[in-house]
A and B are shown apart, each in its own frame.
Chain A
Amino acid sequence: MGFLSAFASWLGMKKKDVNVVVLGLDNSGKTTIITKLKPAEARTQDIVPTVGFNVEKFQTKALAFTAFDMSGQGRYRNLWEHYYRECHGVIFVIDSSDKLRMMVAKDELTLMLENADIKMKRIPILFFANKMDVRDSLSSVKCSNMLELEKIRDKPWHICNSNALTGEGLEEGINWLTDQVKDILTQKKK
């Protein structure tokens, strides 16, 4: 631990560590999004389909995030649940240009929401309707309708359009998530 951060934590200024899981079908752009959220110098090589998961860290103004970027390929999706228990939030990435598989995404979402470790907790879910730059991609409202997000009543959720290649839309989403997680943490303290 460097001197400054040690000093900061002594002052009670150290950023709180929180965990999020990043879910979504394969090729939806999860790894691309998380990489974009890291400072430019910390980004590693090329992005390839994830096998299993990756752990990445990035910071916002108030929080230090540890993101478990899961693999979206079919045969690995049943492994997501191993990472639900300790998470403070979920980032669910949708490929808004992939209309064909929107129903698959919906099924996975439902499964996740019904998992015992998620169901009991009031944790925020952030949806990225990613790849907004692709022609004919669906708007966030359209995505929201197709996934029937309005049916999620017991958890705060938010959806925004994003382009992971440029970073457009990511800040808005992450700011929302930061605020939500912070709220929940302070409520817990009380």
Chain B
Amino acid sequence: MMKRDKKEEEEGGANPFYNLEKSSVLQEARTFNETPINTRKCCHILTKILYLINQGEHIGTMEATETFFAMTKLFQSKDLTLRRMVYLCIKEMAYIAEDVIIVTSCLTKDMTGREDQFRAPAIRALCRITDTTMLQSIERYMKQAIVDKVHSVSSAALTSSLHLAKTSPDVVKRWVNEAQEAVNSDNIMVQHHALGLLYHIRKNDKLAVTKLVNKYTRHSLKSPYAYCLLIRIACKLLEEDNAGPMFEFIESCLRHKSEMVIYEAAHAIVNMKNTTAKELAPAVSVLQLFCSSPKPTLRFAAVRTLNKVAMKHPAAVTACNLDLENLITDVNRSIATLAITTLLKTGSESSVDRLMKQISSFMSEISDEFKIVVVQAIRSLCLKFPRKHSIMMTFLSSMLRDEGGFEYKRAIVDTIIGILEENSEAKEAGLAHLCEFIEDCEHTVLATRILHLLGKEGPRTPQPAKYIRFIYNRVILEDAPVRAAAVSALAKFGAHCDELLPSIMVLLQRVQLDMDDEVRDRATFYLNILAQHQKALNSAFILNSLQVSIVGLERALHHYTMEPTETPFDLKSVPLATQPLQELSKPIMEASSGPKSTEKAAASRQDVYAEQLASVPELANLGPLFKSSSLPVELTESETEYMVRCIKHTFPHHLVFQFDCTNTLNDQVLENVTVQMENTDDFEVIRSVPAASLVYEKPGTTYTLVRLPEDPTQVTTTFTCTLKFIVKDCDPNTGEADEEGYEDEYVLEDLEVTVSDHVQKVVKPNFAASWEEVGASNELEDTYALASMKSIDEAVKSIIQFMGLQACERSDKVPDDKSSHTLYLAGVFRGGHDVLVRAKLAFSEGVTMQITVRSTDAYASEVLASAVG
């Protein structure tokens, strides 16, 4: 708190707009209505308004509109500065005020007028306030402006067209001739912007893009910016299919006379997905050359690029080692940091100590952003040289103690956590460092995260008792969210370690006097559970907590309270939390930094589906949505007349197949579109919900509802599917369809229903506790020889995919040198029954698997156990 006050004071001194009041500024804006206009004063007020908007101040529609109209009166002044301020404000207010089209004529006049200084900004403002319906009326002026001989006007028109293309692609497409003419401009910016627009217009037509690139690679462009763009376009084409001439073009750019183009080409080549060492070499030598350039920007660009690709192409980057060594002492610390961290990533184990020493000598001089680069390098080093973890841990912990912002601290914490999860030897040291860190940690998010980790990992270490003091200190010293997290962590120790239980009970009793409701409630809750001394309860409510979707729970509870009923609320009716998709695939190198992982979307994809399905009357009353398949199944080849993809939704006793269909023919309209499926294996097709009409390129959805068989063990089948519809021919230009149509059908690929459609992944942080909790009453065990598997790793991957369960305890990662491995899987079967699978795998000429299934439901066990067979 103290810190913040001081900061605010400093800011207040330097910023004249500090402490601006929205209401008084808007009051002042009434000055605009006065005549004659006081130019200076009005400019100043406009600046204030811009400042407020850019500070994120919310301005209501009414007040914004009033201010906007007052501002329009300033058009009577011819003052250059004032008018340009007005343009800026128009752009900022375009989406907050109403009726902003009122300035259309004024802006049109300015954009076509004699004052060149007005023309470009007027175009930008005009395009911002113009929507598709109004665009027709200014189209003529836009076309003229694109080919205007004044460069700034032409550039403004081109870039504005790019923005307009987002909302009115069809209109902007008609300006292709003008854009083409502008590409021939002798101004480098106009050429660049024109090429950008041209590409945007043709983006979806691969043939046209190829032609475009071919054309301009031959007539050499004058603008280096346009060249860079061309390289990027060529790269995209290359990504889609490996066409030879595109690569040749990019490679030839390595010999261009502009450094910008050379760098762009080198950057493109080293970032390509598949490149041979031979292709890579010339690009790397260009970067190597840049490393010793007298220009710091070039050195920076080169070393940054090498840093990024160091893990992918270590051999190529090692070739530059000598040059990188020279950059270690670069006066520009950013360059030095990147050089060292690149060397760390590629260097040998023996050089690690020297480099770490070097970098610690100036850690205090570099900005947080580059400190994060260092942290990331350390993380990849630990993966490469697990034996070095103790040096790294020490280094990281000293970094934790230093000054630094939230992002930086988070990167370090992420890295430490990453290391200790990967490497069990590092676990205790890592936890110790984190314990020390939370003793003095100003970031609530990090403190709660670490406490959660301590609760999860601490009880399973050899000496769990030593963590208790650190955790309990938090309960005494911190604010409520941290205290609550600490309470939960304490409870986990109590639940897992019998010898600590009495002391934990005492501590929790003390917490019952806490001032905060949440903290107190948690303590009471845990105390009552722990007092039962039942392993199953501990596992279900403390060690492995609730798995439901929060949004789903809210909705279900709301629903429950709306309809008074005698029956108690059934937690099984709440949809489960779906696993975030990146869970397993997240590459460890880039796990830290970046705000992307912090805020979870409030409603998951499945919550969205649940809502959509509930709004279709024919699909109501199916019960809670249990699962939606994560990846849609394509039922058509790509680039055929119609595109159909299917998402499977599983309900307690039904399946709903959602077919998303797209009609790619612009001379047809399809009506009454359904997918016909045949009854098979006791799966009964009940009804279809047709898509009323499918017009060109506008996706539509049809559903088919299927009842599951009575026999609870019968869960898999294959459906044949046919798309049925009425075709009406239509005019491709107007979209007007004939009166008469005829029936037609289109055969789709078969659709499979597998075991994984009936189970939902669930993480059990403490698998052993859950295993005991579920118990052996429905246990099934079997042994299989998986002859086709070439390694344990391969077997693990296919078992996970086949069963659709969640791997727990990181058992999906198979150590390289082991010939046996145990895989732990957890999930919930349709109907809300827990299922746990333990698969012991051994490798000797093929994989043998002993699989044990436990479930709260006998049928679920049976289905899962027979799934592999």
Q: A66-B35, A82-B69, A86-B35 are in contact. Are A55 and B108 (CB under 8 A)?
A: no
Residue of A nearest to B99 (CB): A79
| In the complex, chain B residues 108-152 whose Cβ is within 8 Å of any chain A Cβ | 108-109, 112-114, 134, 137
> Is the CB of B309 closer than 8 A to any CB of chain A?
no
Segment at the A interface, from B72-80, B187-195, B341-349, B582-590: B72-80
Any A CB within 8 A of the CB of B563 = no
Q: A52-B103, A52-B104, A76-B102 in contact; A17/B109 too (CB < 8 A)?
A: no
Partner of A55, one of B33, B69, B106, B112: B106
Question: A166: CB under 8 A from chain B?
Answer: no
A135 to B706, CA, bound (A): 75
Total chain B interface residues with beta-carbon distance under 8 A: 23
Task: Kindly state whether residue B36 has any CB partner on chain A within 8 Å.
Answer: yes
Residues of A contacting B113 with CB < 8 Å?
A: 44
- Is the Cβ of A54 less than 8 Å from the Cβ of B101? no
Contact B75 A19 (CB under 8 A): no
Q: How far is the CA of A82 from the CA of B72 in the complex (A)?
A: 10
Report A-chain residues with C-beta under 8 Å of the C-beta of B134. 51
Q: Cβ of B34 < 8 Å from any Cβ of A?
A: yes
Asked if A50 is at the interface of the complex by the 8 Å CB criterion, the answer is: yes
Report yes or no: A51 in contact with B101, Cβ–Cβ below 8 A: yes
A57, CB-defined interface residue at 8 Å = yes
Inside 8 A of B36's CB, which chain A residues have their CB?
A: 17
Quick one: which of A17, A44, A52, A66 contacts B102, CB cutoff 8 A? Answer: A52
Task: Jot down 26 A-B pairs with beta carbons below 8 A, ordered by A.
Answer: A17-B35, A17-B36, A19-B35, A44-B112, A50-B105, A51-B101, A51-B108, A51-B134, A51-B137, A52-B102, A52-B106, A53-B72, A53-B102, A53-B105, A54-B105, A55-B76, A55-B106, A57-B76, A66-B35, A66-B76, A71-B105, A76-B102, A79-B99, A86-B33, A86-B34, A86-B35
Residues of chain A within 8 A (CB-CB) of B99 are: 79
B99 vs chain A, min Cβ distance (A) = 6
What is the CA–CA distance of A66 and B73 in the complex, to the nearest angstrom? 10
Please tell me if A101 contacts chain B, counting CB pairs below 8 Å: no
A44 and B119 alpha carbons, distance in the complex (Å): 14
Check A52 against B35 for contact (C-beta < 8 Å). Answer: no
A residues in contact (CB < 8 Å) with B:
17, 19, 44-45, 50-55, 57, 66, 71, 76, 79, 82-83, 85-86
Give every chain B residue within 8 A of A83 (Cβ-Cβ).
Answer: 73
In chain B between 57 and 76, which residues have their CB closer than 8 angstroms to a CB of chain A? Answer: 69, 72-73, 75-76
Contacts of A66 in B (CB 8 A): 35, 76
Once bound together, how far apart are the Cα atoms of A54 and B110, in whole Å?
Answer: 10
Smallest Cβ distance from B738 to chain A, in angstroms?
Answer: 34
Judge whether A54 and B109 touch: CB under 8 Å: yes
Q: A57-B76, A66-B76, A86-B73 are in contact. Are A51 and B34 (CB under 8 A)?
A: no
Complex Cα spacing A17 to B35, Å:
8
Shortest distance from the beta carbon of A148 to any chain B beta carbon, whole Å: 30
Interface bits B92-105 vs A (CB < 8 Å: 1, else 0): 00000001011111
Rounded to whole angstroms, the CA-CA distance of A85 and B32 in the bound complex is 12
Give chain A nearest CB distance to B12 CB in angstroms: 37
CA distance A82 to B65 in the complex (A): 10
Chain B residues whose CB sits within 8 angstroms of the CB of A57 once the complex forms: 76
Q: A54-B105, A66-B35 are in contact. List 9 more A-B contacts (CB 8 A).
A: A44-B112, A44-B114, A51-B134, A52-B101, A52-B103, A52-B106, A53-B106, A55-B106, A83-B73
Which secondary structure dominates chain A's binding surface?
A: mixed
Contact of A54 with B35 in the complex, beta carbons under 8 Å = no
Residues of B contacting A53 with CB < 8 Å?
72, 102-103, 105-106
Q: For residue A51, which residues in chain B have a CB less than 8 angstroms away from its CB? A: 101, 104-105, 108, 134, 137
Using Cβ atoms and an 8 Å threshold, which residues of chain B touch A17? 35-36
Inter-chain CA distance A40–B134, complex, in Å, is 31
- A52 interface neighbour in B73, B76, B105, B114, Cβ under 8 Å: B105
Closest chain B residue to A19, Cβ basis: B35
Measured CB to CB, the nearest residue on chain B to A81 is B69
- Please report which residues of chain B, range 513-549, place their CB below 8 angstroms from some CB of chain A when the two chains form the complex: none
Nearest A residue to B77 via CB reads: A55
Neighbouring B residues of A79 by C-beta, 8 Å: 99, 102
B104–A45 contact, CB under 8 A? no
CA distance A85 to B36 in the complex (A): 15
Which residues of A lie under 8 Å from residue B102 when comparing CB positions? 52-53, 76, 79, 82
- Chain A residues with CB under 8 A of B69: 82
Q: Mark B27-43, 1 if CB is under 8 A from A, else 0.
A: 00000011110000000
CA distance A86 to B72 in the complex (A): 13
Contact status A45-B101, CB under 8 Å:
no
Closest to B36 in A: A17
Residues of A within 8 A of B33 (CB): 85-86
Least Cβ–Cβ distance between B151 and chain A, in angstroms: 22
- Give chain B residues whose Cβ lies under 8 Å from the Cβ of A44: 109, 112-114
The minimal Cβ–Cβ distance linking B79 to chain A, given in whole angstroms, is: 11
Considering the complex, give the chain B residue whose CB is closest to the CB of A67.
B76
8 Å CB contact of A54 from B34, B106, B112:
B106
Chain A residues, Cβ within 8 Å of B137: 51
Quote the shortest CB–CB distance from B148 to chain A (angstroms): 15
CA distance A86 to B33 in the complex (A): 7
Distance A17 CA – B36 CA, assembled complex (angstroms):
7
Across the two chains, which residue of chain B brings its CB closest to A71? B105
Taking CB atoms, residues of chain B closer than 8 Å to A45 are: 112
In B817-864, the 8 Å CB interface with A consists of none
Instruction: Enumerate chain A residues within 8 angstroms of B106, measured Cβ to Cβ.
Output: 52-55
Closest to A50 in B: B105
Determine how close the nearest CB of chain B comes to the CB of A53; give it in whole angstroms. 6
CB distance from B656 to the nearest CB of A (A): 45
- For B33, give the chain A residue with the smallest CB separation: A86
Return chain A residues, CB-CB under 8 Å to B105. 50-54, 71
Complex Cα–Cα for A85 and B72 (A): 14
Please name the residue on chain A nearest to B65 by beta carbon.
Answer: A82
Name the distance in Å between A84's Cβ and chain B's nearest Cβ: 11
How far, in Å, is B679 (CB) from chain A's closest CB?
A: 57
Closest A residue to B66 by CB, please name it: A82
Q: Which of A19, A51, A54, A66 has the most CB of B within 10 A?
A: A51
A71 proximity list for chain B (CB < 8 A): 105
Rounded to whole Å, the gap between the CB of B126 and the closest CB of chain A is 10
Q: Kindly state the separation between the CA atoms of A17 and B76 in the bound complex, as whole angstroms.
A: 11
Complex Cα distance A44/B36, Å? Answer: 24
On chain A, the residues within 8 Å of B75 by CB distance are 55
Residues of chain B contacted by A55 (CB below 8 angstroms): 75-76, 106
Q: What's the least CB distance linking A16 to chain B, in Å?
A: 10
Distance in Å from the Cβ of B536 to the closest Cβ of chain A? 70
Chain B proximity of A138: nearest CB distance (Å)? 28
How many angstroms between the C-alpha atoms of A73 and B518 in the bound complex?
61
- Determine how close the nearest CB of chain A comes to the CB of B81; give it in whole angstroms: 16
| Whole-angstrom CA separation of A55 from B71 in the bound complex | 13
B149 to nearest A CB, angstroms? Answer: 17
Residues of B within 8 A of A19 (CB): 35
CA gap between A51 and B126 in the complex, in Å: 12
CB distance from B108 to the nearest CB of A (A): 7
